[in-house]
Structure 1
Amino acid sequence: MKVEMIALIFFCLGGVLVVTARAVDNSPADDVQHLGRRYAESTIASDISKIMDSMVQKNFVNFLLNQREKKSMPATMPEDPEVHIFNDLLTKDFTMWVHSKGDRSKSQ
């Protein structure tokens, strides 16, 4: 993407240099060609503007997606051994509680 941007910049600068060089040699016969060149240059500038806008839009969407992924990440990492121990204790307590509730319903 950076290479495309640099190529577009060089392309525009080259066009500007050609236009300024030909503007010095301003003869009446070249007026028609000059208008054609101006039209072509404005179309190129418009195309470059559209390309730049689409690149900015894609970058913005990627930025928003990355921010969303960062927000959805858990605060504690599951690789932490203390978290594993705590989770194991909670699951054991919960399963014991569920089994104890099941035993009571059978006895009644």
Structure 2
Amino acid sequence: MKAAVFALVLICLGSSWTCAESQPLGSSSTNDMPKFSRRYAESTIASDMSKIVDSMVQKNFVNYLLNQREKKSEPTMADDSDTRIFNDLLKKEFVMWVQSKANAFKNQ
């Protein structure tokens, strides 16, 4: 996509350079209106291409930020194993508590 946009820019710039070289700067002729419309069309194309490139840059930046956010939110393996050990200890402690309450209830 970037290569296509770059090629389009080069083509537009090349055509504007050849048009500028074809007539001297100081010459005034009766066909000034077509020159003006050609320049307007070329600047419109350049403006549209600029908007497209800007939107591509914005999308790439947003994707970069999202990727950075995902990298920060991924847990590490050490944190995962610590959490698993903690959960196992809590489960064992809870089971022991329930059993002690059940034994106390049976003895009453």
Q: TM-score, normalised by structure 2?
A: 0.75
CA distance in 2 between counterparts of 1:68 and 1:88 reads 24
* Structural mapping, 1:30-49, within 5 Å: 30-49=31-50
The code of the aligned residue for 1:32 comes to M
Q: Report the alpha carbon displacement of residue 68 of structure 1 after superposing the two structures with TM.
A: 0.6
Give the aligned length. 102
* Structural mapping, 1:19-98, within 5 Å: 19-24=19-24, 26-74=27-75, 76-77=76-77, 84=81, 89-98=85-94
The code of the aligned residue for 1:97 comes to E
Q: Which has the higher contact order (CA 8 A, sep 6+)?
A: 2
Deviations 1:30-66 (A, max 9, x none): 2111111111111111111111111111111111111
Runs of 4+ in 1 over 4 A off after TM superposition: 86-89
Larger radius of gyration: 2
Identity %: 44
Q: TM-score, normalised by structure 1?
A: 0.75
Match of 1:17 in 2: 17
